[in-house]
Amino acid sequence: MRKRNLYKIPKQIIDRIRAFDQDDVVVASAKLIRHEDIKDYSALGIKIRGGKLALPNPAVPDPSAGRYSRANVEGLEKPRKDLPKIPKEIYCGDRPIYGDWSKGSFPLWQTRQVYRQDFIPPKEVELSISLLEEKDNGYIIKFSIDQVINRRTKNFEIELLYNLNILQENIGAVNVFPSAASLAEYTATIQIDWQILPPGTVDEVVQRILKGKRKITPEQESTMKERISIMSKLKPEVYVTGTDSFLRYFGAKFGDNFVVFENVRYGNALYIMYDSWQELSKKSRVDLLSGSREGFNRIEHREGWGAQLKRAVAEYRAEEKK
């Protein structure tokens, strides 16, 4: 049964935050889970193995848990109905030449009037689960969202409600705690460092990207090969991947101001970044997807996404030749 969302920050949460002696806040909750109720949390990876409690590593919550959990992975698009509509080219699928598929096909695009969209990028915050204490009748378990938010920042209440709802959707309980200084310092140092990989065959590129990374499923590797295959046909300058052990992002660099990023674990869309490479490499994974709509473009992995990417690369290269 899906947990009901919070439409505003509960008063007890606001009162609790006001009593904190520091500004850094973490959305978290501690629950006593009885032995007989452990099975109810199996979707989160909490299980009993060999008579002992087994907890999962920190992970992005399943997007099927609710609208905020889905937005955490896919982002949100909000139509600006207060602004006039604008023309947009829509991919309508492939069509046969002169109605005959044997003669080949061509992509059909139509110009339609649509509302402008404000895109809220996915945060991909993770849910951490840890054991606080073992009791005779169960376990006291802490569930926490891995983002530290500061109550003096402009978007504090928006970020707070967002994280409260992710916790609510996944465990049906919410609370907040002051952040430990060490956690705040750790979060502040999370950066994406990029490793440059030379072109090669699809298998060679995938092997280089996965080297030193934590294991992914065969299905994820298959998806990764499909994405790299499409990129390789467009002849990127180099491929890029994060230097840490998590395969968060990988992609291809087509120019100093045109880098395509993929996420194999939550890959519902690719991102084309138009900022300079030097600026991109200094941003954290959250900052990378933040900012104005003009700073990037997003292509959902739906039918025809490869054609959209090919077109974007061609337009970029044509502009660079001028």
- The pLDDT-based confidence of 310 (bands split at 50, 70, 90) is very high
Token pair of 286, please? Answer: 């959250």
pLDDT for 69-121, tens place per residue?
A: 999 998 877 788 888 888 888 888 888 888 888 888 888 888 888 888 777 77
Closest CA to 270 of 228, 322, 321, 320: 228
Closest CA to 113 of 92, 93, 82, 84: 84
Q: Where in the chain is the domain with CATH 3.90.1150?
A: 194-321
Token pair of 296, please? Answer: 């990037």
Find where tokens 């907890």 sit.
55
Closest CA to 160 of 151, 169, 152, 168: 151
Find where tokens 């499409």 sit.
230
- Please state the rounded mean pLDDT for residues 170-197: 62
H helix and E strand count, the chain: 9, 17
- Looking at residue 162, its pLDDT comes to 93
Residue 145 has pLDDT above 90, yes or no: yes
Q: Which residue has the higher pLDDT, 281 or 109?
A: 109
Closest CA to 155 of 123, 186, 128: 123
Give 211's DSSP letter.
T
CATH of domain 194-321: 3.90.1150
Q: Range with the lowest mean pLDDT among 76-85, 173-182, 229-238? A: 173-182
- The pLDDT-based confidence of 182 (bands split at 50, 70, 90) is very low
Token pair of 3, please? Answer: 């947990």
Question: What is residue 173's three-state secondary structure?
Answer: coil
Give me Rg for the CA atoms of the chain: 23
Q: Which residue has the higher pLDDT, 133 or 186?
A: 133
Q: Range with the lowest mean pLDDT among 4-8, 97-101, 181-185, 237-241? A: 181-185
Amino acid identity, position 196: I
d(CA 60, CA 124): 6
d(CA 287, CA 155): 14
Q: Which residue has the higher pLDDT, 66 or 108?
A: 66
Reported in sequence order, the residue ranges of the chain that DSSP labels E, i.e. its strands, are 24-34, 47-49, 52-54, 76-79, 86-97, 100-114, 117-120, 127-134, 138-145, 149-150, 176-178, 194-197, 238-242, 250-255, 258-262, 269-273, 296-300
Closest CA to 284 of 215, 186, 216: 186
pLDDT for 220-232, tens place per residue?
A: 889 899 999 999 9
d(CA 258, CA 236): 10
Length of the chain: 322
Closest CA to 261 of 234, 283, 242, 244: 242
- Looking at residue 133, its pLDDT comes to 83
Q: Which residue has the higher pLDDT, 313 or 243?
A: 313
User: How confident is the prediction for the chain on average, in pLDDT?
Assistant: 82
Burial 121-146 (b: 16+ CB within 10 A, else e): bbbbbbbbbeeeeeeeebbebbbbbb
Q: Which residue has the higher pLDDT, 248 or 179?
A: 179
- The pLDDT-based confidence of 128 (bands split at 50, 70, 90) is very high
- The pLDDT-based confidence of 125 (bands split at 50, 70, 90) is very high
| Angle between the N-to-C axes of helices 218-233 and 305-321, in degrees from 0 to 180, rounded to the nearest 10 | 40
- Looking at residue 225, its pLDDT comes to 92
- Please state the rounded mean pLDDT for residues 232-244: 84
Q: How large a percentage of the chain has pLDDT more than 70?
A: 85
Closest CA to 275 of 265, 288, 264: 288
